[in-house]
Amino acid sequence: MGEQRDGERLERQLAFLLEADRLKTVERRTLLTDGSRRENSAEHSWHLALMALLFAEYAPGEVDRARLLTLLLVHDLVEIDAGDAYSYDPAAQVGKQEREERAARRLFGLLPADQAAAVLGWWREFEEAATPEARFAQALDRLQPVLQNFASGGVSWREHGVRRGQVAARTAMIAAEAPALGRHVALLLEQALARGWLRE
């Protein structure tokens, strides 16, 4: 009986992990650095987690590394159902929260109840910026597209006619969570403006 329950537990975990594979097919607007194709949300999540390992030192206080990595690994899973909502597309923002809530219930609900609750909790913690780790994770999530866009010639900004003020507003929190990184973003936005990659 215990073994049967154990088997069912593993089956649920495997079903979730196979479903999670679909995050590799969710396309973001940002290009790879070499400009060869758009980035997907799974590899983006990996890149953020790697960045967190190296940039945790810029956080104003202590951050729990396991918690920070965990939040980054699960933060985009809802996009499997809800898609990636481009930050500078107002239409994509309409109804986003409801779509993502529905996605979270379906996707995390594939897991055994205790793990479903854990993943839901991590996802909410990130979304609500409820802890220092969640705020720092959000700051990195806003930093990475700026770095990636800048390195690939500002294509996704130019394609969507993005204004400097929009990016500055979206990335303002970086300066609070990691002052050195905030200064770097400000420099990049100046240069992107000068190069015509962002509009005034």
Alpha-carbon distance of 116 to 77, in angstroms, equals 13
The tokens for 81 are: 């159902």
DSSP-derived secondary structure letter, 19: H
Alpha-carbon distance of 75 to 7, in angstroms, equals 28
Q: Of 92, 94, 123, 89, which is closest to residue 106 (Cα–Cα)?
A: 123
Helix axis angle, 132-151 to 41-55, nearest 10°:
110
Provide, rounded to whole angstroms, the least separation between the CB of residue 55 and a second copy.
Answer: 7
Q: From residue 82 to residue 111, what is the string marking binding to a second copy with x (rule CB under 8 A)?
A: -----------------------------x
Q: Which is nearer to a second copy, 34 or 200 (CB)?
A: 34
- Maximum separation of any 2 CA atoms in the chain, in Å: 68
Q: Judge contact between 59 and 71, C-beta under 8 A.
A: no
Using CB under 8 A as the binding rule, whether residue 139 contacts a second copy is answered as no
Q: From residue 10 to residue 49, what is the string marking binding to a second copy with x (rule CB under 8 A)?
A: x--xx-xxx-xxxxxx------xxx-x--xx-xx-xxx-x
Q: From residue 153 to residue 192, what is the string marking binding to a second copy with x (rule CB under 8 A)?
A: ---------------------------xx--x--------
Looking at residue 179, its amino acid is P
Provide, rounded to whole angstroms, the least separation between the CB of residue 13 and a second copy.
Answer: 5
Q: Where along the sequence are the contacts to a second copy (CB under 8 A)?
A: 6, 10, 13-14, 16-18, 20-25, 32-34, 36, 39-40, 42-43, 45-47, 49-51, 53-55, 64-66, 69-70, 73-74, 111, 115, 147-148, 151, 180-181, 184
